[in-house]
């Protein structure tokens, strides 16, 4: 068994537990949580922090990353968490199946769903209708694509607190984007004998939110001479264009760029776009192969065929054109290849924000109206204060 509590994770667990202990005013473990999550080493701190205050933590591993770090699941089970294997997005999208699963594992316990990617969104109203008001307290949602999925279903009679638009998530996304850019530069050096600072390489970014824009800025800082960006919202293209990134279309990026980052969470790259891509185009995502690409669907439809892979790069054949597509980290975010995920514990600010949202729903259930809403600013500020306090402590330890 690996030692998962490397320095960054030990620091993250300490930080997240501090958030928990600051916010929890009631004694005892009074509720349970359902936690869909990627299977990364960076998934461990959030799960362990919730175990501090929850009677049960039911961890649902996302299938797209299930094989990434299989020992993580055993580690979490050793720590007393319940790992629900064999449950995927399709299963949870079926209201009858989702309600049956929850009834079976929760029994009469009070519970919340800490969603990640809107896995429970299609079944959310049926869940609300099927459990007593005092038993099921609501949803919290981690991601922007999950926010969009809950927005489409418009749940009645329960709150859904999203951290997708949180200032805390912006800091985390920016740090992750920087790590993705540096990971890309390392791969170019390691596999291809080149680097981002190469005037012949064209880099394209699809999706100019915080993650996509920050990645583009980092590539410019690392010396890239040609960085392009595309977004369905023209307002998202203005700031990048002021920072050396050239606005273009998705078709242009897919047809002309050597390296493509997709950071939309809504599968903006459609099958027709793969037919435009150059031979040996390098494709990265900022989320996962499921949320960003729908990789399983592409394989089932024979749009792509897998040829070979290693831990870092998988080679697929685009069937219509016969060209090769090089998929970094098999479609998952490249920074997940790093044990720490990033070079700063600020990536765990999003976990802290979701913890705060979950505890808020449990401790003050009558404070929140029904429907989709953002985390209240007072909770964001509290999390920021706790992180800054711990950051100062760590800096002091480094310099003493």
Examine the fold and report which residue of 314, 337, 360 is the final residue of a domain before the chain moves on.
337
CATH number at residue 210: 3.40.50.720
Look at residue 397 in the predicted model and tell me its pLDDT.
Answer: 63
Pairwise CA distance, residues 172 & 341, whole Å = 11
Q: How many whole angstroms from its chain centre is CA 39?
A: 11
* Model pTM score: 0.86
Report if residue 231 sits inside a domain.
yes
Q: What is the mean pLDDT of the chain?
A: 90
Is the alpha carbon torsion for 289, 293, 299, 305 positive or negative? negative
Query: According to the model, what pLDDT value does residue 398 have?
Result: 52
Cα 179 to Cα 143: distance, rounded to the nearest angstrom: 19
- How, if at all, do strands 313-318 and 324-328 pair? antiparallel
Region 136-152: mean pLDDT is: 93
Q: Is residue 83 located within the same domain as residue 153?
A: yes
What span, in angstroms and rounded, lies between the C-alpha atoms of 307 and 180? 24
Taking the C-alpha atoms of residue 351 and residue 301, their distance in angstroms, rounded to an integer, is 35
Q: Which of 337, 360, 388 corresponds to the end of one domain?
A: 337
Residue 44 placed within a domain = yes
In-domain check, residue 309:
yes
Tell me the pLDDT band of 4, cut-offs 50, 70 and 90.
Answer: very low
In a domain, 2, yes or no: no
User: What band does 395 get if pLDDT is binned at 50, 70 and 90?
Assistant: low
User: What pLDDT, in 10s, does the model give residues 68-116?
Assistant: 677 889 999 999 999 999 998 889 999 999 999 999 999 889 999 999 9
> Who's near 345: CB < 8 A, 6+ residues apart?
8, 11, 12, 15, 387, 390, 391
E strands, the chain, where?
A: 31-37, 54-61, 82-83, 111-115, 136-141, 159-162, 202-206, 226-230, 246-247, 259-262, 281-285, 304-309, 313-318, 324-328, 371-374
End-to-end CA separation in angstroms for the chain:
33
Please give the sequence-ordered ranges of beta strands (E in DSSP) within 279-382, or none if there are none. Answer: 281-285, 304-309, 313-318, 324-328, 371-374
- Note the pLDDT of residue 344: 65
Same domain, yes or no, for 147 and 182? no
**Residue 363 domain boundaries:** 7-165+345-399
CATH for 25: 3.40.50.1480
Counting every residue written for the chain, the total comes to 400
Confidence category of residue 207, pLDDT binned at 50, 70, 90: very high
Query: Lowest-pLDDT range, 127-131, 234-238, 240-244, 273-277?
Result: 240-244
Res. 130: pLDDT tops 70: yes
**Pair 81, 228 in one domain:** no
The answer to whether residues 108 and 200 belong to one domain is no
The answer on pLDDT for 2 being more than 60 is: no
Give the residue-averaged pLDDT of 54-75. Answer: 86
Check whether residue 177 and residue 156 sit in a common domain.
no
Q: Clarify whether residues 106 and 27 are in a common domain.
A: yes
The residue from 295, 310, 337 where one domain ends is: 337
Mean pLDDT of 157-169: 93
Say yes or no: 109 and 87 in one domain.
yes
Q: Are residues 161 and 174 in the same domain?
A: no
- In the predicted model, what is the mean pLDDT of residues 334-340? 68
Share of the chain above pLDDT 70, in %: 93
């Amino acid at each position: 068994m690996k030692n998962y509590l490397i320095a960054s994770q030990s620091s993250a667990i300490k930080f997240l537990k501090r958030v928990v202990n600051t916010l929890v005013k009631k004694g005892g473990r009074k509720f349970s949580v359902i936690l869909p999550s990627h299977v990364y080493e960076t998934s461990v701190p959030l799960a362990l922090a919730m175990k501090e205050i929850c009677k049960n933590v039911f961890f649902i591993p996302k299938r797209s990353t299930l094989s990434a770090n299989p020992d993580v699941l055993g580690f979490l089970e050793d720590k007393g968490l319940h790992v629900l294997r064999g449950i995927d997005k399709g299963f949870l999208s079926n209201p009858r199946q989702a309600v049956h699963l929850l009834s079976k594992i929760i029994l009469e316990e009070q519970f919340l769903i800490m969603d990640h990617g809107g896995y429970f969104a299609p079944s959310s109203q049926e869940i609300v209708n099927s459990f007593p008001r005092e038993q099921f307290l609501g949803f919290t949602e981690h991601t922007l694509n999950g926010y969009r999925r809950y927005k489409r279903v418009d749940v009645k009679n329960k709150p859904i607190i999203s951290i997708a638009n949180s200032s805390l998530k912006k800091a985390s996304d920016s740090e992750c984007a920087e790590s993705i850019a540096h990971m890309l530069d390392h791969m170019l050096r390691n596999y291809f004998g080149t680097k981002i600072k190469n005037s012949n390489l064209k880099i394209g970014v699809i999706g100019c939110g915080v993650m996509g824009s920050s990645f583009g800025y980092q590539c410019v800082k690392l010396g890239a001479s040609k960085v392009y960006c595309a977004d369905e919202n023209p307002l998202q293209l203005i700031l990048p264009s002021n920072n050396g990134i050239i606005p273009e279309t998705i078709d242009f990026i897919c047809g002309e760029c050597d390296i493509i980052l997709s950071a939309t969470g809504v599968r903006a790259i459609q099958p027709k776009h793969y037919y435009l891509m150059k031979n040996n185009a390098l494709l990265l995502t900022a989320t996962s192969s499921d949320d960003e690409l729908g990789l399983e669907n592409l394989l089932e439809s024979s749009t792509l065929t897998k040829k070979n892979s290693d831990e870092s790069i998988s080679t697929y054949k685009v069937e219509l054109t016969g060209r090769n597509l090089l998929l970094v980290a098999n479609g998952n975010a490249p920074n997940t290849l790093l044990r720490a995920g990033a070079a700063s514990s600020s990536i765990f600010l999003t976990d802290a924000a979701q913890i705060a949202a979950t505890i808020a729903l449990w401790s003050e259930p009558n404070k929140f109206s029904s429907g989709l809403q953002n985390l209240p600013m007072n909770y964001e500020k509290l999390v920021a204060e706790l992180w800054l306090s711990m950051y100062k402590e760590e800096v002091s330890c480094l310099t003493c």
